[in-house]
Amino acid sequence: MSKALIIAEKPSVANDIARALGGFTKHDEYYESDEYVLSSAVGHLLEIAAPEEYEVKRGKWSFANLPVIPPHFDLNPIAKSESRLKVLTKLLKRKDIDRLINACDAGREGELIFRLIAQHAKAKQPVQRLWLQSMTPAAIRDGFARLRSDEEMQPLADAARCRSEADWLVGINGTRAMTAFNSKGGGFFLTTVGRVQTPTLSIVVEREEKIRRFVPRDYWEVKAEFVCAAGFYEGRWFDPKFKRDEFDPEKRDSRLWALPAAETIVAACRGQIGVVREESKPSTQLSPALFDLTSLQREANGRFGFSAKNTLGLAQALYEKHKVLTYPRTDARALPEDYMDTVKQTLGMLKESNNYLPFAKQVLDKGWVKPNKRIFDNSKISDHFAIIPTLQAPKNLSEPEQKLYDLVVKRFLSVFFPAAEYRVTTRITEVVGHHFKTEGKVLVEPGWLQIYGREISGEDANLVPVQKDEKVKTDKIAAQQLVTKPPARYNEATLLSAMEGAGKLVEDDELREAMAAKGLGTPATRAAIIEGLLGEKYLVREGRDLIPTAKAFQLMTLLRGLGVKELTAPELTGEWEYKLSQMERGNLPRDAFMQEIARMTQTIVKRAKEYDSDTIPGDYATLQTPCPNCGGQVKENYRRFACSKCEFSISKIPGGPPVRD
């Protein structure tokens, strides 16, 4: 009797599938039932490699052997998991296996893992795709009832292969070219680059350069305390005619750049009577959208200090092991339009928990689950929808798992609640022609904020009232000296946001959604990119900050000096990511993409190969220590420290620690 072979991505998923479908007998490396044979990979079992005639041993990484652009790629088994590959190959070749079911993770990498296994085994059987949003037994059974066709998955498979091959071409050729350049003077100085990793590094290096160039400036603000019939309130001087200066972003309407100007205002207003005008208007604040992986990683980093890698691991465990969250590696922040009934069932499950009962009950009792394009919108989802709780109640979660689950549940509940309502008051006090601003914001209806423990503010809690046409007296007034601050260093939350916007730090949710298609990497890969930069010692962690090392600055100096903007301009890499997403949708052919990548690879190698100057332009130091030969000035360049008066010089190791004196 013919059977289908199901290949999952990891043993735990195979185990879940066996339990959900039932009727399986367990063997050493696989399960078997009347209808199915079921086994699994353990992540990637194969890696792409150049055919042997293109392979170059590390000691021969010279420009003569570059670029390496093979006409096709071979597959090499990954040594540590080769035994698992042999098991799957043997099962694929069984005579009774007449169709295959790809049950690897529902995304680009899962598609690639399965396709490479099938290619290696030269499998000819027809393929169907299991596409899961949730790992509950009911969701698994539902997935088997709706298997996708192989043709439907081909665009995703093309994008997966292109991503893998593009990373290989740019990584191998870029690394060998930069290593060859840095090793010109003898020795072997490994200099790694990556298609997404290096542009991400450039974002952090550029910020650090701004911090290093930053010169603090003194400024003054004038603050006054006014006495009125009901008490007193504070105001800050501002210039009502102020206009933003695009060449000097540090200018603000309340900043004075000279002490005499501030003292003049203080002297003019002290003890004087002020006239008040006031405007109060309502303001609303909607809850943030449902989580995708990147926004969840940002929130967890900001609240708990979890790294992007940790958050992904916790979310994966909550999805796979505990089955309490939907698929986490998603870039969508909406739900399918036919998901309203499931949402109501999920709220019913949450109602059983004391922590969530009052909020889940309110949503259900008041009928707040209704068609709303902010929440239910098919046009905002592709393969996966937003991360939400499943119908399964959590049990035995670790403390970090519970924290992350709680974040997701509260966000899920909050999107159905009404907006928070405020009354915003702006009070302008005019004293002898000078204007002082006082702002008050009172929470009138907490709406979704009550889920996070916010209550209604007391009546005018933070602003004493004034009567119409009331005169007030300037009781106290003083100039306060302050100093401008440099830009903040990136932490994982802000770097994830910058990667999402291809280098632009995007705070607005709607704009972030529009730009997400052109971001650096994908939600599933961004954590690994950051970890890769830390592992390669291009970045170090100091507290929550990410700081580029001397090695990072050296690499950026080299790439900029060679004019390799393909690896230093985040927006260009964002365009490549956009093209891959277009390919996933069937809108871009694989060949066209790979031809462009090959041209880019040739350009990177050509620039390094043809650069004939002995040094690279950059921002180099002049040492305070004089030349030991003649006492002249010693200056740094890309390759060495050299005296400006005599022949003295010391070679530098590219990427080594900076010389300090």
pLDDT at 524 over 90: no
Segment 342-362 shows an average pLDDT of 95
pLDDT of residue 516: 61
Cβ-Cβ contacts under 8 Å for 627 (sequence gap 6 or more): 633, 634, 643, 645, 646, 648
pLDDT at 159 over 90: yes
pLDDT of residue 634: 83
Segment 516-541 shows an average pLDDT of 90
Q: How confident is the model at residue 2 (pLDDT cuts 50, 70, 90)?
A: very high
Asked if 97 and 91 count as a contact pair (C-beta separation under 8 A), the reply is: yes
Segment 597-621 shows an average pLDDT of 84
Return d(Cα 316, Cα 409) in angstroms, integer.
16
Q: What is 169-212+493-610's CATH topology? A: Topoisomerase I; domain 2 (1.10.460)
Segment 218-231 shows an average pLDDT of 96
pLDDT of residue 52: 73
pLDDT of residue 459: 46
Closest by Cα among 24, 45, 17, 42 to 147: 17
Q: CATH homologous superfamily for 218-286+420-483?
A: Topoisomerase I, domain 3 (2.70.20.10)
**Hey, how many other C-beta atoms are within 10 angstroms of the C-beta on 285?**
13
Q: Where are the domains of the chain?
A: 3-146, 169-212+493-610, 218-286+420-483, 293-414, 620-661
Segment 525-540 shows an average pLDDT of 95
Give the pairing of strands 148-149 and 127-129: antiparallel
pLDDT of residue 655: 47
CA atoms within 13 A on the CB side of 366: 11
Q: Which range among 49-58, 110-119, 171-180 shows the weakest confidence by mean pLDDT? A: 49-58
Q: What is 3-146's CATH topology? A: Rossmann fold (3.40.50)
* 293-414 belongs to CATH 3.30.40.10: no
pLDDT of residue 612: 77
Q: How remote is the C-alpha of 572 from its chain's centroid?
A: 17
- Percent pLDDT > 90 in the chain is 72
Beta bridge partners of residue 554, listed in sequence order: none
pLDDT at 122 over 90: yes
Residue position matching structure tokens 């005579």? 95
Q: In Å, what is the CA distance from 515 to each residue of 380, 431, 506, 565, 659?
A: 13, 46, 9, 21, 41
Segment 351-355 shows an average pLDDT of 91
Q: How confident is the model at residue 641 (pLDDT cuts 50, 70, 90)?
A: confident
pLDDT of residue 167: 93
Beta bridge partners of residue 279, listed in sequence order: 426
Q: Which range among 48-57, 161-170, 594-603 shows the weakest confidence by mean pLDDT? A: 48-57
What are the tens digits of pLDDT across the range 244-292? 988 898 999 999 999 999 999 999 999 999 999 999 999 999 999 999 9
pLDDT at 506 over 70: no
pLDDT of residue 58: 54
Biggest alpha carbon distance in the chain?
A: 99
Q: How confident is the model at residue 517 (pLDDT cuts 50, 70, 90)?
A: low
pLDDT at 102 over 90: yes
pLDDT of residue 458: 47
Between 254 and 636, residue with greater pLDDT? 254
Segment 38-63 shows an average pLDDT of 81
pLDDT at 637 over 90: no
Segment 305-316 shows an average pLDDT of 96
pLDDT at 55 over 70: no
pLDDT at 218 over 90: yes
What are the tens digits of pLDDT across the range 59-87? 567 888 889 999 989 999 999 999 999 99
pLDDT of residue 364: 97
pLDDT of residue 513: 57
pLDDT of residue 660: 44
pLDDT of residue 651: 74
Q: Which range among 18-27, 373-382, 478-487 shows the weakest confidence by mean pLDDT? A: 373-382
pLDDT at 56 over 80: no
pLDDT at 640 over 70: yes
Average pLDDT in the chain: 90
Does 578 participate in catalysis according to the annotation?
Answer: no
Give the active site residue among 219, 319, 327, 638.
327
